[in-house]
Amino acid sequence: MNNKLYDHLIFELSHPGRIGYSLPHNAIPHHALPSDVCRDKPAELPECDEMTVVRHYTNHSGNNFGVDNGFYPLGSCTMKYNPKINEEIASLPSFTHIHPLQPKQTVKGCEEVTTALRHLLSSLTGMYDFTLKPCAGAHGELTGLMIIRAYHESRGDMKRVKVIVPDSAHGTNPASAAVCGLQVVEVKSLADGTVDIDDLRSKLDDTVAAMMMTNPNTLGLFEHNIVEIVKLVHDCGGLMYYDGANLNPLLGICRPGDMGFDVMHINLHKTFSTPHGGGGPGSGPVGVRKGLEPFFPMVNPFHGNFLVEVRALTYILSLGKENIKHVGPLSTLNATYIRHQLKDAYELPIQSLSKHEFVFNGLKDKSTGVTTLDVAKRLLDFGFHAPTIYFPLLFHEAMMIEPTENESKETLDHFIDVMHQIAREAKETPDVVKTAPHNTPISRVDDVLAARHPVLTFKGEN
Ligand SMILES: *Cc1c(COP(=O)(O)O)cnc(C)c1O
């Protein structure tokens, strides 16, 4: 690969003949393997001593960014604090040393964990029951849509092929509908960021299987017409699907079931605090109203992502009924504080009150050409993870900020100061922002090249 970034990454620690292990003499008789399963030449593994290997990986691990080393305001993804007690409980041998095919009577305690979690999720959401099998939010969406399709088909109603999705929806919503073989129909948002009911009305007929919604939506706005929306969709025979990936703002305060939703999923790894990112681990339980539970999936990847379930149960029980209802208001307070303190420097396209997250449309003063991407990169220089950028798609320079409830005022103030400093730099020394980051191990990468030609081996082959 002919890329400057790649030159910088080459490291060659291997020295022929150096080894980092010692094995006892093999007392087991030698067995020759069939030649067709043997290598032609030895595997080209790096030859290193143990200390070099340990230092190499230890130093690399320090380049990772996570909630344990800095503020991580990634909107919609809900990177909240993961209490260490969760890890302690999830690493108990009685949870880690089980096998999914073990006889049921030997794992009674684990069964109690899943039953208790299902009941707690039902009481937090107003759903009748949950299946814990789906292993991610998107997996939950697909499962939920398949439940909805099975429900319509069970009634002989075969013409329902459409799923209505607001234009502010998370990308997985239309993707899951398409994977499920359903047609996606987009419904517009009004200038205030909520669903345009007239547009919705024009798209409703007896071919609608479901409408998928997030409430508060991805702009952090509570859909105040939710009761009317639910009634319109139900009146035409469709079901309401609630994307509860990020249930933070509602916990213990209001419930999708009470708003009239029929099917929903929750991301345990966002709302109930399992560390996530880079593809997992996740868990996306699906809840349904009474009458839909016969359509729960029968085939399953064993029992779902069990240790994520253990963490979620620990999280819910350690907060308890009294404290869990502070999660929503505190995350809303934190988001509102940042929004208020920064709206002089960043463009706030929607003025109405938002909940746990909100969206800026880039810098207020865009005259020097500094973009949202530049601001996100510059934040890394100050030890902050960037917010979610260029999503939702409603605004060209979207910057979606979600602080979560556990952040202290000092952390928020530091972030606010840095965001102000970046806005000043954008005006006075724009090149500093446009060429950021400057303090990270790797400077600005070519995102497109990295996605198209990922270099995945130490030898630089892709
Ligand atoms: C994260 C998220 C999803 C998808 O969840 P995954 O576990 O990443 O598949 C869906 N909807 C919303 C609103 C989300 O924030």
Q: Is residue 2 part of a domain?
A: no
Contact 136 CB / ligand 1 (< 6 Å): yes
Amino acid at 308: V
Residues whose CB is less than 8 angstroms from the CB of residue 44 and which lie 6 or more positions away in sequence, other chains included = 459
- Measured in Å, residue 239 CA sits from the centre of ligand 1 at 20
pLDDT at 425: 98
pLDDT at 62: 84
Quickly list DSSP for 37-86: GS-SS--------HHHHHHHHHHHHTT---TTTS---BTTT------HHH
Residues in the chain: 462
Q: Is residue 458 part of a domain?
A: no
Statement to judge: residues 316 and 397 lie in one domain: no
Q: Is residue 91 part of a domain?
A: no
Contact 138 CB / ligand 1 (< 6 Å): yes
Residues 171-180: contacts with CB under 8 Å, at least 24 apart: 171/391, 172/137, 172/138, 172/141, 173/141, 173/212, 173/243, 175/138, 176/138, 176/141, 176/142, 176/145, 177/145, 177/212, 179/142, 180/142, 180/145, 180/146, 180/149
pLDDT at 32: 87
Contact 402 CB / ligand 1 (< 6 Å): no
pLDDT at 459: 66
Contact 170 CB / ligand 1 (< 6 Å): yes
- Measured in Å, residue 75 CA sits from the centre of ligand 1 at 11
Q: Is residue 5 part of a domain?
A: no
Q: Is residue 415 part of a domain?
A: yes
CA of 78: how far to CAs of 145, 218, 244, 255, in Å? 24, 12, 12, 19
Rounded CA-CA distance 323/320 in Å is: 6
**The tokens of 243 are what?**
């994307």
**The tokens of 115 are what?**
């039953």
Rounded CA-CA distance 436/433 in Å is: 5
Counting from 1 in the atom list of ligand 1, the atom nearest the Cα of 169 is 13
Q: Is residue 79 part of a domain?
A: no
DSSP annotation of 293 reads G
Neighbours of 170 (CB within 10 A): 22
- Measured in Å, residue 241 CA sits from the centre of ligand 1 at 14
Q: Which of 262, 292, 323 is the last residue of a domain?
A: 323
Statement to judge: residues 20 and 156 lie in one domain: no
Statement to judge: residues 243 and 341 lie in one domain: no
Closest CA relative to residue 381, chosen from 441, 445, 447: 441
Amino acid at 130: F
pLDDT at 460: 62
Number of domains in the chain: 3
Q: Is residue 77 part of a domain?
A: no
Residues whose CB is less than 8 angstroms from the CB of residue 89 and which lie 6 or more positions away in sequence, other chains included = 95, 310, 311, 314
Statement to judge: residues 273 and 422 lie in one domain: no
Counting from 1 in the atom list of ligand 1, the atom nearest the Cα of 282 is 7
Statement to judge: residues 297 and 373 lie in one domain: no
- Please check whether residue 110 is in contact with residue 98, taking contact to mean a CB–CB distance below 8 angstroms: yes
- Measured in Å, residue 267 CA sits from the centre of ligand 1 at 7
**In the chain, what's the furthest Cα-to-Cα distance?**
79
Q: Is residue 393 part of a domain?
A: yes
Q: Which of 273, 305, 323 is the last residue of a domain?
A: 323
Counting from 1 in the atom list of ligand 1, the atom nearest the Cα of 140 is 9
Statement to judge: residues 288 and 346 lie in one domain: no
Statement to judge: residues 146 and 288 lie in one domain: yes
User: b vs e for 28-49, b when ≥16 Cβ sit within 10 Å of the residue's Cβ?
Assistant: eeeeeeeeeeeeeeeeeebebe
Statement to judge: residues 387 and 293 lie in one domain: no
Statement to judge: residues 140 and 208 lie in one domain: yes
- Measured in Å, residue 40 CA sits from the centre of ligand 1 at 45
Statement to judge: residues 336 and 260 lie in one domain: no
- Please check whether residue 402 is in contact with residue 356, taking contact to mean a CB–CB distance below 8 angstroms: yes
**Domain enclosing residue 280, as ranges:** 98-323
Statement to judge: residues 255 and 302 lie in one domain: yes
Counting from 1 in the atom list of ligand 1, the atom nearest the Cα of 138 is 9
Statement to judge: residues 265 and 314 lie in one domain: yes
Closest CA relative to residue 324, chosen from 248, 252, 274: 252
Can you give the pLDDT of all 462 residues of the chain as single tens digits? Answer: 334 444 444 467 888 999 888 888 888 888 889 999 999 998 888 899 999 889 888 888 888 888 888 999 999 989 998 999 999 999 999 999 999 888 989 999 999 999 999 999 999 999 999 999 999 999 999 999 999 999 999 999 999 999 999 999 999 999 999 999 999 999 999 999 999 999 999 999 999 999 999 999 999 999 999 999 999 999 999 999 999 999 999 998 999 999 999 999 999 999 998 888 776 789 999 999 999 999 998 876 677 899 999 999 999 999 999 999 999 999 999 999 999 999 999 999 999 899 999 999 999 999 999 999 999 999 999 999 999 999 988 899 999 999 999 999 999 999 999 999 999 999 999 999 999 999 988 889 888 888 898 887 766 665
Q: CATH number of the domain that 103 lies in?
A: 3.40.640.10
Q: CATH number of the domain that 381 lies in?
A: 3.90.1150.10
Rounded CA-CA distance 181/234 in Å is: 22
> For the chain, what percentages of helix, strand and coil (3-state, to nearest 5) are there?
40, 10, 50
